[in-house]
Structure 1
Amino acid sequence: MENKLSNEELENIINQHDESEILDYKENFEDSKAIGEYISALGNSALMLHFPVAYLIWGIHDKTKEIVGTKFNPNRKASNKNQMPLKTYLEQFLDPHINLYWEEHNIKNKRVVALIIDISRVDHPISFLGKRFIRVGTSKKALSEFPEKERLIWDAFESTKFELKIAKENVSFDNLSNLLNLKVYKRVNNISAGDSELVKSMENDHLIIRRKINFDITNLGAYTLAKNMDNFPALKKRTIRITKYAGKQKLDKAIYDRQGKMGIVVSFDNLLTNIMNHIPYSESYSAGHREDIPMFPKIAIRELVANALVHQDFTKTGMYPSVEIFSNKVVISNPGVPLIDPQRFLDVQPISRNNELANLMEKFNLVESRGTGIDKVVNSLEQNQLPALEIRVPDSRSTVITIRSKKSFKDMTITERNSSIYWNACLRYVGDEQISNKTIRDSFKLTTRDSSMVSKAISNAIDAQLIKVYDPNVGKKFSKYIPFWGRDALNN
């Protein structure tokens, strides 16, 4: 069978990722029972984090990630006592059945074995020999010791079901157009033929389910295309809410407070316009005429709101996405915690817990599968001399992102400078560049007189373990820097 991963793809995984909840490196590890337990732990962690696969890779030093090669043979017997083939032994005692893809690669003239653990069709936690395991950091633990993680795994199954649950049953075709904005859907999908093409497209997008002569509308269909959310009471409280306060904190009077009344896809443009109408503006006089300049760039607001909608966790009841507008900041939050480390938002391919919603929003050009949204946010904040975005996960139930009003680099706190330098380094790194004292000055519109201040700020960011020196052999005057997770000159 042809390998699912090319040598280059596997090498990229090794280079870009340390051991984690869904990735483990071994050299010549051969304990058959422990391998089964690792499959359970890695697979359950992937389920909890909404990853479709996990990896167990032999031939790699777990600390340095040096490719050392391996003698491990997946085609061997389970043990001297158990003459059953290892693959058969694992498949027999894993519950439920999962797809295990064993691959052999030659990387830098070293033999590497990769096990791809595909959990995309699993419907309950994975056990081996009757016991369930989970990764805690990079350690293998009994799942029973971590009931919160087990609950998150079960929640993951519910989350994938939410989009396809029924919001309204037994709807006639004529009534579909009364409940859903089919005009917008047809325009975006360029549907001009008869009703059969429309129905087929909506079925393919999981918006409706055919029931003999009538249809059921799914949660996905209602949440995205509803003309009036009052027709879908169970979803009504899940639409995004916009609140504007008179001052800098929630104790100040709320002068505007509205929750969405329509599906998020068909109302997105109006939603964005509404937000931009309520954020503070400043006056600019250039070329002899007055211009009103929004305090926050529209592209940043757009990308952050779209991300909050598509990445929300529908298993968190009593919560909804929100945009809170203050005189000095905008706070955008959504139910659910990120599926990837917030510090890696810019370089790691985004993962959505709501695949059907993500696919539909991409079709409507509201999100991008390439993951460039956060790049645009970071770049637009820099261009407008705003502090870097702040990403917080205050509890196990929500993600909160704050963007703040204009502040010069000189006036930023140490934490704000650290964050701004880190995200600037990330943005340059994904473009195959490094930052330096000069590039920081250029990005934040500083002069050579500010060099010592920038040097101190870079030193602080290094101490905070957000960036590191790219080439230790270069003198400090000519030093360049990369994010803490990047590959330096010695490892390229």
Structure 2
Amino acid sequence: MDKYLDLIKTIVNKNSEEEWFEFKENLQNEQVIGEYISALSNAAAMCNKEFAYLIWGVNNETHEIVGTKFDFRKDIKNEPLEHYLARQIFPDTDFSFKEIIIDGKRVVLLEISSAKNNPVSFNGVRYIRIGSSKVNVAKYPEREAKLFEVLRRSEKTIESIESEYQDLSFERLFTYFAGRGISLRAETFKKNLGLITKDGKYNLLGQLLSDNSHIPLRVSIFSGKTKASLLYSVKEFGNTCILLSLDKVMEYADVINIIQADESKRIVSRKDVALFDMSAFREALINAFVHNKWIYKNAPMITVYSDRIEILSRGTLDPKQTIEGFFLGESVPVNEKLSDIFLQLHISERSGRGVPKIIDVYGKEVFDFRKNSIAVNIPFNRISNINDSNINEVSNKKPLNARRKKILEELRNNPNITQAQLSKIIGVGITAIENNIKFLKENGYIERVGSNKAGYWEVK
């Protein structure tokens, strides 16, 4: 507690109260305390402070330490005060109470983390400090704009985060741009595309567009409607320039988007019906790439179920975005530089038609806004006998019996496992293992990478 003892003494010795700390003697009202958490957290960001402080037991006028009877361990309607406050604070902001005795007098200090990325609100209202006053920031639009600007500058982005990999190459990026009729200059492309930090180091955007992004991107196919069902295959499309990853996923979607023959009410010719709308899928996938929170070092997640494809991007709506604006196509890019590159390459467009296109085909209900992600579920339009039990046909694979499923599971868990080890685990002879391995290879379930002695199994 010596740290906080010294901190309190330093603060009370200041000539005047500043916006990132506040003195109270016996403030008890939980609503007002919550408002101060919002105001002080936002003020700390404005003052470039890591923490803000609300201190009980200090006279506001004289800064004299007088002690306090404030009990931060009390309950609010059978709920601990800390839980009550945390439940109504958004986004989740770290704060903690400390109890210190100074010259025999009890002082309570509330340490509040500075706002990061988004302004902090309490009970749906954002507060800020103006001098020593606590106010609703919405009533002061210029200060609110300033707060957003400060938070935007301090927010970690794919341009500001230095890549942990500095030996990057960009041959595939040059080829990709050339294929779109754009020539990159070796001397200037890093700066022009925003691939380096202010210190001249490759940033995360540079890593994402390099020949090896070091970020996996997979398409998983399940036999049923949930991940509790059998996992049939996992296709890897990552660890390369994400522009190529995007194209590869598009190509794979074309493969699984089987064309069904609708012979109902047939008179002369039959009607061909796709499993899902490719245009809507394309818009959802591009949005997932552009708006994904790549700073988490995770790619979008694409999952194929028996009744739908789910495209999940990390992160939530930008704080300047509303649900209404999102559905209307008012795009607020999470990754501005990446969005500019997509526009330059004509992968996406500035018109904001992507989301409205998806809604026009499938409705708003396909969007699922979760705590830390946004998912789009593209439903399948099945008109033939394709069902949950033969999803293998979608991935062009023959169904597996129980033994082959078990072998596949062991290979997925241990790609270096030997046939002798499999023989012991499965409980059959080497010949039976060899025959089943051959079946799995010939039907595209597995592939041997490297030599028989030093290689490993890759499960598709």
| TM-score (normalised: structure 1) | 0.44
Larger Rg: 2
| TM-score (normalised: structure 2) | 0.46
